[in-house]
C-alpha cells in the first residue's frame, strides 16, 4: 500500500492538544501549531482497522496483553535494532514520562541527584524536580552546529553530586543527535564505575536519517543491560500518543520488581485496551508505513535545510541525525537585530502566526533556539517556514526603516 503523507487532515475540534488548546495555553487562536511532538499524519490503516474491530466488539472490560503482543514486540526489536528481548523484561506503562517518574521514585530518594543532558526534553527536569530529587545537568556542548558530550563534566557531575540515576535521551530531543556506540560506551562505563542506574529513553529510536544507526544502549554490554531501564513506545513512530502505551524493558529482575512496586503504589495495573490493540497492530503491520514515512521526512528535512540556508538569514539548522524535531539556532539573527528571546517569541507568534517551542523550555543551553516539528504534510511545512520568513523579514524591515 502506498500512503499519502501529503494529505492535510483537519485536526481542529478533535480534542487535539496541538490544535484545540491554544487559548487555554495563553496563545492566540489562529496559530499554525508546530510545537508538540505528534504528527499530522493519519496512523497506518492496519492500526485503525484493529482499533475499529475492538470498538465494534463493544465490550471494554479490564484487559491485558497476551503472548502474541509480546511476540510482535520481540520481532520488532530484533528486526529494527537486532536486539533480542525477553518477555520477563517487559512492563507496560501509560507513557514514557510516567515510567521515568516511577523509575525516579523506585531508584532514588528525595534529595538524590539525577543527571540529565540539557538542552533536553523538558519533562525530564520537571519530573525530577516534582519528585523532590536534585536536577544535575551535564550540559551538551554546541560545537559549530553539532552537539557533543563533555565527558569530563559528565563524570565530575556524577561524583560531585553523588548522582544515582542518569536519564539518557537517545536519540536526543531536541538536538537531534543519535549517539555513536563510542559515546554511549563512554557514558555507560562512567555510570557503571559510579553505580549509576540508567534510564534510556529511546522513544525516538525509529527515526534516524540515512546512514545513521541507533544503538540500543542496554544491548551494548551485558553489564549495561543489568543496570538499565529502557523506555520504548510505538507512540512517536505511529502517531499513537493519545493512546498512552509504552513498553519498558528491565532485564534486572530486582529492578523490575522495584519498578512494578512503585507502579502498584500509584494504584496502576492494567492498561487501556486501545493502546494494547494499537501497539500490537503497529509492530505487526507497521514496517511498510514507517519506511515510507522515513522517506517523506527525509524530504521534509531537505526542504527545511534549503529554506533555512537561502531564506532565513542569521538562522542555522542544527543538522539532525534522528527524530522529526528540528532545532533552529537564531543566535546570529538575534545578535544582528539586538533582539531578546522574548522578542523573537513575540515575532514568531504575532507576526509569523506560528506556535513553536522556545528553546529556553529545554533548560540550560536552550537560549536563542526554537524547536520546530516537521512531521506534517509538506504544504503545511512550507506554510510554516514561509510564515517564519515573513515574520523575520518584517522585523528586519522595521529596523532598516
Ligand X SMILES: Cc1ncc(COP(=O)(O)O)c(C=O)c1O
Site string for ligand X, 112-151 (x = CB under 6 A): ---------x------------------------------
In the complex, minimum distance from the CB of residue 357 to ligand X, in angstroms, rounded to a whole number: 10
What residues have CB less than 8 Å from 75, skipping those under 6 apart? 283
Look-up of cell digits 554546541: 142
**HSE (CB half, 13 Å, CA atoms) of 151?**
10
Residue 385 binds ligand X, judged by CB under 6 A: no
Of 196, 197, 218, 241, the residue at the interface with ligand X (CB under 6 A) is: 241
Q: How far is CA 317 from the centre of its chain?
A: 18
Is 39 in a helix, a strand, or coil? coil
Nine cell digits for residue 128: 525530577
Q: Which stretch binds ligand X (CB under 6 A): 91-99, 128-136, 148-156, 349-357?
A: 91-99
Of 102, 157, 235, 237, the residue at the interface with ligand X (CB under 6 A) is: 235
Spatial separation of the C-alpha atoms in residues 374 and 307, rounded to whole Å:
13
Q: Peptide bond before 80: cis, by omega within 30 degrees of 0?
A: no
In the complex, minimum distance from the CB of residue 207 to ligand X, in angstroms, rounded to a whole number: 11
Is 146 in a helix, a strand, or coil? strand
In the complex, minimum distance from the CB of residue 201 to ligand X, in angstroms, rounded to a whole number: 5
Q: Which is nearer to ligand X, 158 or 169 (CB)?
A: 169
Q: Which is nearer to ligand X, 263 or 392 (CB)?
A: 263
Q: Which is nearer to ligand X, 76 or 307 (CB)?
A: 76
Residue 173 binds ligand X, judged by CB under 6 A: yes
DSSP category for residue 242: G
Total binding residues toward ligand X, as defined by CB under 6 A: 13
In the complex, minimum distance from the CB of residue 300 to ligand X, in angstroms, rounded to a whole number: 17
Nine cell digits for residue 137: 545537568
Q: If phi over 0 gives left and psi between -120 and 50 gives alpha, with beta otherwise, what is residue 246?
A: beta
**HSE (CB half, 13 Å, CA atoms) of 343?**
13
Site string for ligand X, 94-113 (x = CB under 6 A): -xxx----------------
Q: Which is nearer to ligand X, 169 or 374 (CB)?
A: 169
Of 72, 169, 271, 318, the residue at the interface with ligand X (CB under 6 A) is: 169
Q: Check if the beta carbon of residue 256 is closer than 8 Å to that of residue 85.
A: no
Please give the residue ranges that form the binding site for ligand X (CB under 6 A): 37, 95-97, 121, 169, 173, 201, 203, 233, 235, 241, 246
Amino acid at each position: 500500500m502506498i500512503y499519502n503523507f501529503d494529505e492535510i487532515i483537519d485536526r481542529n475540534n478533535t480534542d487535539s492538544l496541538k490544535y484545540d488548546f491554544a487559548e487555554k495555553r495563553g496563545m492566540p487562536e489562529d496559530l499554525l501549531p508546530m510545537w508538540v511532538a505528534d504528527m499530522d499524519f493519519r496512523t497506518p490503516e492496519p492500526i485503525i482497522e484493529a482499533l475499529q474491530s475492538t470498538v465494534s466488539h463493544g465490550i471494554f472490560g479490564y484487559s491485558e496483553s497476551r503472548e502474541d503482543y509480546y511476540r510482535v514486540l520481540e520481532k520488532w526489536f530484533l528486526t529494527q535494532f537486532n536486539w533480542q528481548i525477553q518477555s520477563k523484561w517487559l512492563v507496560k506503562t501509560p507513557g514514557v514520562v510516567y515510567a521515568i517518574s516511577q523509575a525516579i521514585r523506585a531508584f532514588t530518594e528525595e534529595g538524590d541527584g539525577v543527571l540529565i543532558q540539557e538542552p533536553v526534553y523538558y519533562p525530564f527536569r520537571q519530573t525530577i524536580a516534582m519528585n523532590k530529587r536534585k536536577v544535575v545537568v551535564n550540559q551538551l556542548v554546541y560545537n559549530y552546529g553539532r552537539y557533543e558530550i563533555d565527558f569530563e563534566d559528565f563524570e565530575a557531575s556524577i561524583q560531585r553530586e553523588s548522582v544515582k540515576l542518569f536519564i539518557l535521551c537517545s536519540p536526543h530531543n531536541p538536538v537531534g543527535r543519535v549517539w555513536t556506540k563510542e559515546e554511549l560506551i563512554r557514558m555507560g562505563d562512567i555510570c557503571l564505575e559510579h553505580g549509576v542506574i540508567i534510564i534510556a529513553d529511546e522513544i525516538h529510536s525509529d527515526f534516524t536519517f540515512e546512514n545513521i544507526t541507533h544503538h540500543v544502549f542496554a544491548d551494548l554490554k551485558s553489564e549495561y543491560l543489568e543496570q538499565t531501564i529502557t523506555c520504548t513506545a510505538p507512540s512517536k513512530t505511529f502517531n499513537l500518543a493519545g493512546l498512552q502505551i509504552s513498553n519498558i524493558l528491565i532485564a534486572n529482575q530486582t529492578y523490575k520488581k522495584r519498578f512494578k512496586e512503585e507502579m502498584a503504589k500509584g494504584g496502576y495495573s492494567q492498561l487501556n485496551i486501545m493502546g494494547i490493540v494499537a501497539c500490537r497492530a503497529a509492530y505487526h503491520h507497521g514496517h511498510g508505513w514507517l519506511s515510507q514515512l522515513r522517506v517523506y521526512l527525509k524530504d521534509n528535512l531537505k526542504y527545511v535545510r534549503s529554506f533555512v540556508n537561502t531564506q532565513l538569514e542569521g538562522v542555522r539548522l542544527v543538522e539532525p541525525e534522528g527524530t522529526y524535531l528540528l532545532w533552529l539556532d537564531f543566535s546570529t539573527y538575534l545578535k544582528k537585530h539586538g533582539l531578546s528571546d522574548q522578542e523573537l517569541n513575540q515575532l514568531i507568534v504575532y507576526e509569523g502566526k506560528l506556535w513553536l517551542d522556545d528553546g529556553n523550555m529545554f533548560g540550560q543551553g536552550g537560549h536563542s533556539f526554537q524547536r520546530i516539528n516537521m512531521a506534517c504534510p509538506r504544504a503545511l511545512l512550507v506554510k510554516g517556514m514561509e510564515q517564519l520568513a515573513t515574520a523575520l523579514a518584517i522585523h528586519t524591515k522595521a529596523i532598516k526603516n
